[in-house]
């Protein structure tokens, strides 16, 4: 019964959308790759994801699937830019920061240890079981359990894409 309702509802939606059949609507929605809204700073483009929350691992998977990676914050100016972008949203976001096998904080996206630039919140990192790094809405960094759900920021170098003509 539910399946019949779903098919009828989708058929009605398809007709409202200008398609004569559910199949036409379905095919039209599956042959296009949705574009991600990217913001550019320096030599990188960022996707600041605030549609749903995910664990550090699922956020990494999402970014990788879209040809990107979780952000690595390499400078004060990059951190300030990201802080300005996320302040409007008002939540915490995963970065690629994590503790490696020898208990060193590392940017997983590029393999570099977090040494030259750090922006930890007061008292952070503070717990041995918090192995992942989030950037808070105030622009400071916090260590957190990797399985907690957070929004996340993906990054990619600024390159020309072949199929869309947009820069990422």
Full pLDDT tens readout for the chain, 168 residues? 333 333 333 333 434 345 555 445 444 444 444 578 899 999 999 999 999 999 999 999 999 999 999 999 999 999 999 999 999 898 999 999 999 988 899 999 999 999 999 999 999 999 889 999 999 999 999 999 999 999 999 999 986 544 444 444
At 101 the pLDDT is 81
Residue corresponding to tokens 């630039």: 117
| pTM across the whole model | 0.74
Q: Are the C-beta atoms of 21 and 36 separated by less than 8 Å?
A: no
- The confidence score (pLDDT) of residue 35 equals 73
């398609």: which residue's tokens?
Answer: 19
Is there a contact between 48 and 39 (Cβ–Cβ < 8 Å)? yes
Strand, coil or helix: 43: coil
Token output for 39:
């913001």
Question: Which pLDDT value is given to residue 160?
Answer: 53
């Amino acid at each position: 019964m539910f399946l019949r309702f779903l098919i009828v509802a989708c058929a009605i939606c398809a007709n409202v959308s200008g398609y004569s059949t559910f199949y036409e609507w379905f095919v039209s929605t599956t042959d296009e790759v949705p574009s991600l809204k990217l913001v550019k700073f320096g030599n990188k483009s960022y996707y600041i994801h605030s549609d749903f929350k995910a664990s550090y691992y699922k956020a990494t998977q999402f970014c990788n699937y879209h040809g990107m990676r979780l952000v690595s914050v390499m400078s004060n100016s990059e951190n300030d830019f990201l802080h300005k972008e996320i302040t409007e949203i008002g939540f915490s976001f995963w970065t690629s920061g994590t503790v490696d096998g020898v208990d060193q904080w590392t940017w997983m996206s590029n393999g570099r240890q977090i040494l030259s630039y750090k922006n930890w919140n007061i008292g952070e990192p503070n717990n041995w079981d918090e192995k992942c790094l989030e950037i808070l809405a105030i622009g400071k960094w916090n260590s957190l359990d990797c399985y907690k759900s957070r929004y996340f920021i993906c990054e990619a170098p600024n390159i020309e894409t072949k199929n869309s003509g947009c820069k990422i």
